[in-house]
Amino acid sequence: MSNPVKTVKVTVDNQIIEAPEGTPLLQAMLDAGLDIPHYCYHPKLSIDGSCRLCQVKIDGMPKLQISCNTQVRDGMVVHVADPEVEMTRKGVLELLLLNHPLDCPICDKAGECWLQNFSMRFGARHARTIDTRRKRGKRLDIGEQILLDQERCILCRRCVRFCREISKSNELFVFSHGDKSVLDIYDKRLDNDYSMNVADVCPVGALETKDFHHRMRVWFLEDTASVCPSCSNGCNIMISSARGKIWRLTPRRNDEVNDTWMCDAGRLNYKFVGDPARLRAPMVAGEGGPAEAGWDEALKRAAGAIADFVKRNGARTFGAFASPHLTNEENFRFGEMLRAIGAGRIAMAVPRGRQDDFLIKAEKAANARGVRELGLVSGDDDGLEAMLRACEAGEIRGLYVCGGDLLEVGQRERVDAILEKLDLLIVQDLAMRPRYGRAAVTLPATAFAEKEGTFTNHAGRVQRIQRAIAPPPGWRTDGEIFTALMNQLSDRAERFELESVWAAMAGDGSRFAGLAFDKIGPEGAPLDTA
Amino acid sequence: MAVQVVKVRRPAATFSSANPWIAILKGLWVSIRHFFGNLGLFLRGRQDFAIHFPEQRLVQPPALRGMPVLAQMADGKERCVACGLCEWACPTSCITIYPAETADEVERYPEIFDIDMSRCMFCGLCEEACPEEAIIMSRQIEIASYSRRGSLWHKADLLVPVDQLKTRTDYIRRNYER
């Protein structure tokens, strides 16, 4: 930067903290690891100063100041552990709780509610009120995905600012004044592509997603840091799982990718993982249609069929569709396997959809860029048209297809005619699809939440996904399937281990070369752009 | 690593903590009392000292913790709102709850509320954790079954009208801070 930001020093309770000039004092204190209660301040939203909870005592100022709307100044002396500050917090919390319904047992936020946490830590033990609590609207259906509970609302206006500044759709407002203030919608319902983020920013249970409403208590959830698989933006997420099931996805902060937001479509796209229609065992074609088979048997059948095909038709007539949903490592191993076979052509079908200028990208798969960076596919359409032509011309007579995206590219009759003509079809997919009915072997694919690996997003940032729920015992992940087939086809004894695969990838001369696996932190790392 | 010495403030010794043999004698006194009491009865000709369960039963004290049950209100519905605190408090994880929504004023109820009685250890932590006085340690102690599946009690089996639980609810209101 040409104009470096000056760093200033602030004394907070005898501790000296440093922060760039212009930082809100609250943010500086939070960054230093201090525990300052606050509601309305959000690092990605403008400052509102409505909750009054973050007040601190600053030398030279006559009254307590809200630290969110106070910028750090050099030589500032701040007192937090101060009886006056403590008393103020207690008073503010008592005010916020004055009309709070205290229906924590039925509130989905209970357990991660800031009002609960801060009242327990900084508030009074018991309420002094004797009047009945104010009644307001509960369970108001204000949008496709969101329920509003006006009794629980503490009027921090985070959601209002979110709709004004981030989604720019202006649905939520606070109406009336003083103790009659109430959060509501006005002329349109809360229906935008990012509406569910208001439930994240809401520090209490006033805004809840319908998807998570009365489903699971948050204290049973186990969080796994991962990456959203729904488009090539690669928003960082937390997978919340319990009892072997995913219950919700929430955005994880990454200033390089998604700040603290994610779109509703991505957030709701986890149900396929636990879909009962998913393939739970390999299927092998038999007399009376596909039948379940053991893993070893199915892999042996697949390897045998490929070897047989290559012997009869030559390796050049064998082609493959790589999947943009699989990780970098798996696709690399897929490439190795195809090299071991000597396959003639590789293409990739990428599902496409709507995009906007914020987070939603047109490519509805997480790792299309990774497949391209590995050099598996080339061309504007990732070799799709050329592959379809080669199949039609009879140059490609056997296909190994990963994923169901080939069926989604349009040109339905054309693709079906090609699939009908093939001598050998091996499919690796999440579910059985009737249009892949001619597959000799169908191997179950593994969902993003059940495996480890890395995705490369549209901008070339490599980010890790991690296993949140365990697949059934004896399960082979996609990478293990490719490795087993490669071993059987070329008499090798490789294993699928992330570090060793990554080392091979880096040694392959691809753009992954400059990147060590253990250097990919929780926020990912950019590919070597040189 | 440097060894750090942490000084623990111990409570001052009281008379009973300084003289543990008093507690031992107190406990032993129960045995002694029963021994000589029964000996006296035996010498006066009594032959049978057993309580013939189930025809004959001891009077159960209100502190007795039998099988946990769900309080059923007058309208036949459970008082439970499926908050999951008992599930969390349970040391043996014998409770499984799946919540659901109703149109009632209390919008949440347990769609599934299962207790695995073969795992329950009758500690009563669920009862203590419950914010609604909905799960209560009943006086029901006859819960044996012929199969393991029979030890899995579902919501319908667990519901007990709340007026039948009065002894225990009075007791917990007296004894727990709420």
- Per residue in A312-321, pLDDT tens? 999 999 999 9
In this prediction, residue A410 carries a pLDDT of 83
Closest CB from A104, A106, A110 relative to B107: A106
Q: Residue B175: is its pLDDT beyond 90?
A: no
Beta-carbon separation of A105 and B100 below 8 A: no
The encoded tokens of residue B141 equal: 């102690």
Residues 6+ apart with CB under 8 A from A468: A222, A224, A226, A239, A241, A246, A449, A450
Closest CA to A470 of A284, A166, A243, A227: A243
- How far is the alpha carbon of A129 from chain B, nearest alpha carbon, in Å? 17
Instruction: Test B83 with A217 for CB contact under 8 angstroms.
Output: yes
Q: Distance between the two ends of chain B, CA-based, in angstroms?
A: 45
Q: Which of A122-126, A429-433, B12-16 has the highest mean pLDDT?
A: A429-433
CATH number at B154 reads 3.30.70.3270
Q: Is residue B166 part of a domain?
A: yes
Query: How does residue A286 score in pLDDT terms, banded at 50, 70 and 90?
Result: confident
Residue type, B114: D
Residue of A103, A106, A108, A221 for testing the chain B interface, max B β-carbons within 10 Å: A106
Element holding A401 (H helix, E strand): strand A398-402
Tell me the residue length of chain A: 530
Residue of B100, B101, B132 with shortest CB distance to A105: B132
Query: HEC profile for A239-308?
Result: EEEECCEEEEEEECCECCCCECCCCHHHHHCCHHHHCCCECCCCEEEECCEEEECCHHHHHHHHHHHHHH
Which residue from A139, A213, A217 is facing B84, i.e. has the nearest CB? A217
* CA proximity to A405, closest of A460, A367, A374: A367
Q: Is residue B24 part of a domain?
A: no
Give a yes or no: residue B56 inside a domain. no
Chain A residues near residue B100 by CB distance under 8 angstroms = 214
Mean pLDDT of chain A: 93
Look at residue A262 in the predicted model and tell me its pLDDT.
Answer: 96
pLDDT classification of A1: cutoffs 50, 70, 90 = very low
pLDDT in the model for residue A5: 83
Q: What are phi and psi of A84, to 5 degrees?
A: -65, -40
The A-side interface with B (CB below 8 A) comprises 104-106, 110, 138-139, 213-215, 217, 219-220
Q: Residue A305: is its pLDDT beyond 90? A: yes
Measured at the alpha carbon of residue A374, what is the angle toward residues A329 and A485, in degrees to the nearest 5? Answer: 50
Query: CB B87 to CB A110 under 8 A?
Result: no
pLDDT at A175: 96
Set of chain A residues whose Cβ sits within 8 Å of the Cβ of B132 = 105
Mean pLDDT across B115-126: 95
Interface test with B, best of A104, A109, A151, A214 (most B CBs within 10 A): A214
Separation between Cα atoms, residue A230 and residue A262, nearest integer Å: 11
Contact A105 B83 (CB under 8 A): yes
Residue in A with minimal Cα distance to B112:
A215
For A139, the closest of B88, B100, B107 (CB atoms) is B107
All residues of chain A having their beta carbon less than 8 Å from the beta carbon of residue B99 are 214-215
**What is the span of the domain harbouring residue B99?**
68-175
Q: Residue A72 above 70 pLDDT?
A: yes
Nearest CA in chain B to A110: B83
How many distinct helices (H) and strands (E) make up chain A?
13, 23
Asked if the structure places residue B62 within a domain, the reply is no
Residue B1 pLDDT grade (very low, low, confident, very high; cuts 50, 70, 90): low
Report the chain A residue with the minimal C-alpha distance to residue B105.
A138
Mean pLDDT for the stretch of residues A514-523: 85
Which residue in chain B is spatially nearest to A218 when comparing CA positions?
Answer: B84
The 10 Å Cβ neighbour count of residue B54 is: 7
Query: Residue B93 falls within a domain, yes or no?
Result: yes
**Residue B113 in domain:** yes
Q: Inter-chain contact A220–B82, Cβ cutoff 8 Å?
A: no
CB contact under 8 A, A219 and B82: no
Which domains, and CATH codes, for chain A? Answer: 7-94 (3.10.20.740), 103-109+130-215 (3.30.70.20), 283-526 (3.40.50.740)
CB–CB contact B99 A138 (8 Å): no
Q: Rounded distance, CA A202 to CA A205, Å?
A: 7
pLDDT in the model for residue B12: 85
- Kindly report the three-state secondary structure assignment for every residue of A95-138: HHHCCCCCCHHHCCCCCCCHHHHHHHHHCCCCCCCCCCCCCCCC
Share of chain B above pLDDT 70, in %: 98
Residue in B80, B98, B102, B107 to test binding to A, most A beta-carbons within 10 Å: B107
Average pLDDT over residues B51-69: 90
Q: Which amino acid is at A264?
A: D
Answer yes or no: is B50 within a domain. no
Question: Residues A221-235: what's their mean pLDDT?
Answer: 95
Please give the pLDDT value at position A514.
78
Q: For residue A324, is pLDDT > 60?
A: yes
Q: Tell which residue, A323, A265, A197, A258, has the closest CA to residue A463.
A: A258
Mean pLDDT calculated for residue range A296-314: 95
A442-482: per-residue pLDDT in tens? 999 999 999 999 999 999 999 999 999 999 888 999 999 99
Could A214 and B101 be called an inter-chain contact, meaning their C-beta atoms sit closer than 8 Å?
A: yes
For residue B151, give the amino acid letter. Answer: S
HEC letters along A418-448:
HHHHCCEEEEEECECCHHHCCCCEEEECCCH
Measured CA to CA in angstroms, residue B112 lies from A459, A501, B99, B158 at distances of 46, 45, 7, 11
Write out chain A residues lying below 8 Å of B83, CB-based.
104-106, 110, 217
Contacts of residue B106 in chain A, CB cutoff 8 Å? 106
Cβ–Cβ < 8 Å for A376, A512: no
- Mean predicted confidence (pLDDT) in A366-382: 92
- Is B12 within a domain? no
How confident is the model over B68-82, as pLDDT tens digits? 999 999 999 999 999
- pLDDT of A330 above 50: yes
Confidence of residue B150 (pLDDT cuts 50, 70, 90): very high
Give the pLDDT mean for A236-260. 95
Has residue A493 got a pLDDT over 60?
Answer: yes
Confidence grade of residue A517 (pLDDT, cut at 50, 70, 90): confident
Cβ–Cβ pairs < 8 A, chains A and B = 34
Residue A419 neighbours by CB distance under 10 Å: 20
The number of domains in chain B is 1
Q: How far is A379 from chain B (nearest CA, A)?
A: 50
Residue A530: the pLDDT is 46
